A and B are shown apart, each in its own frame.
Chain A
Amino acid sequence: MNHLDEQRLIEYAGGDAGNAVAIERHLRECDGCRENYEALRRVLEAARALPVPEPDAGYEARLWHRLGPQLEPRKVYLDWREWFSMRRLAPAGAVAVLVLAAFLAGRFWPRPTGSGQSAGGGQTESLSHLPQVRERILLVAVGDHLDRAQSILLEISNAEPGAAPGKEVDISREQQRAEDLLAANRLYRQTAQRTGDAPVADVLGELEPLLLEIANSPTKVSAADFEGLRRRIEASGLLLKVRILDSTVHEREKAHAAAQPQHSS
Chain B
Amino acid sequence: MTRMADTDAAQVALVLGGDPDAFRVLVERHGRRLFRLAYRMTGNEHDAEEIVQDAFLRAYRRLDRFEARSNFGTWLYRICANCALDLMRRQRADQTRREPAPRDDDPDASDPLEAAASADPGPERLVLSAELGAGVRAAMNSLSATERAAFLLRHVEGFSIEEIARSLGLNTGATKNSVFRAVQKLRRHLDPLVSAAR
Q: Interface of A with B (CB < 8 Å)?
A: 6-7, 10-11, 13-14, 16, 39-40, 42-55, 59-60, 63-64, 66-68, 70-77, 168, 182-183, 209, 212-222, 224-225, 228-229, 231-232, 235
Contacts and interface: CB of A to CB of B under 8 A. Distances in A.
B94 interface: no
Which of A7, A73, A218 gathers most chain B CB within 10 Å?
A218
Which of A50, A64, A77, A215 gathers most chain B CB within 10 Å?
A50
7 residue pairs, one from A and one from B, having the closest CB atoms: A51-B116, A42-B194, A228-B170, A228-B174, A76-B18, A218-B86, A60-B28
A222 B144 contact: yes
Contact of A6 (B32, B53, B116, B184): B184
Contacts, number: 173
Contacts of A44: 155, 183, 186
Interface in B36-58: 36, 39-40, 43, 45, 49, 52-53, 56-57
B4 interface: no
22 contacts: A6-B180, A10-B183, A11-B176, A46-B190, A46-B194, A47-B140, A47-B151, A48-B156, A50-B116, A50-B156, A51-B119, A60-B28, A60-B31, A63-B52, A63-B56, A72-B20, A212-B65, A222-B146, A224-B146, A225-B168, A228-B174, A232-B171
Interface of B: 15-18, 20, 23-24, 27-28, 31-32, 35-36, 39-40, 43, 45, 49, 52-53, 56-57, 60, 62-65, 78-79, 82, 85-86, 89, 93, 112-113, 115-116, 119, 121, 125-126, 128, 132, 135-136, 139-140, 144-146, 151, 154-156, 161, 166, 168-171, 174, 176, 179-180, 183-184, 186-187, 190-191, 193-195, 198
A73 to B, nearest CB: 6
Given A49-B126, A50-B112, A71-B20, A215 B65 contact: yes
Given A6-B184, A55-B35, A43 B128 contact: no
Contact of A71 (B23, B135, B145, B184): B23
Classify the secondary structure of B's interface with A: helix
A225 B27 contact: no
Contacts of A76: 17-18
Contact of B78 (A7, A43, A216): A216
A51 B132 CA distance: 13
Given A14-B155, A209-B166, A59 B86 contact: no
B16 A74 contact: yes
Nearest to B21: A68
Given A59-B31, A67-B53, A182-B65, A43 B171 contact: no
B64 A71 contact: no
Contacts of B64: 183
Which of B39, B126, B179, B180 gathers most chain A CB within 10 Å?
B126
Contacts of B190: 43, 46-47
Contacts of A42: 126, 194-195, 198
Contacts of B93: 168
